[in-house]
Amino acid sequence: MPKENKCRTYFAIVGDFDPDMVSKRLGIDPYCAWKKDDLRKDGKPYGFSRWECGFCNEYDPMVTNMMEKTIEPLLGKTKELNAIREENEVRFYLGVVPEFYINTVTPCVSPSLKVIDFAHETRTEIDIDPYVYR
C-alpha cells in the first residue's frame, strides 16, 4: 500500500453560543455543528458548542492553498465574525491537520499573508496538528 501524504483544513467556532445563530448571521451552513448540552453518541452531553465550515481535504503540498480555500467564504464576513466573537464566549480556530510520511516530500504549512491578515482581523487562532508516520 503506497504511503500518501494528506491534509485537512477547517474553520471552527468553539464556546458557549447558539450554532443556528452563527449559520443565520453568516449565511453559511456548517458541515458540522452541535450545541452545548446536546448529547454525544455515547449519551454524554457536550460541554461546549461547536460550528465548523470550510472543510478542505483536497491535498495540496502547499497547504496555504488549502487554508485559503477554507477561509474564502468567510473573507467578506469579518464584521459579522467579530460581532459574534464580541457578543458570545467563543474562540475561532483555523485547523490544519497535515499527515505525512518520513522520506516523502513534506507539505509546506506556512500560512500566506492573506491567511495571516484574516486571522489577525478576526482574532482566529491557527491550530496546526501534524501527524508524522514512518
What H or E segment, with its residue span, contains residue 43?
none
The grid cell for 4 is: 500518501
Mean pLDDT (whole number) for 7-30: 98
Say if residue 2's pLDDT is above 70: no
Give 60-98 pLDDT, tens digit per residue: 999 999 999 999 999 999 999 999 999 999 999 999 999
pLDDT of residue 81: 98
| 76 contacts 108 by C-beta, under 8 angstroms | no
% of the chain surpassing 90 pLDDT: 93
Mean pLDDT (whole number) for 119-127: 98
Instruction: Look up the pTM and report it.
Output: 0.94
| 62 contacts 105 by C-beta, under 8 angstroms | no
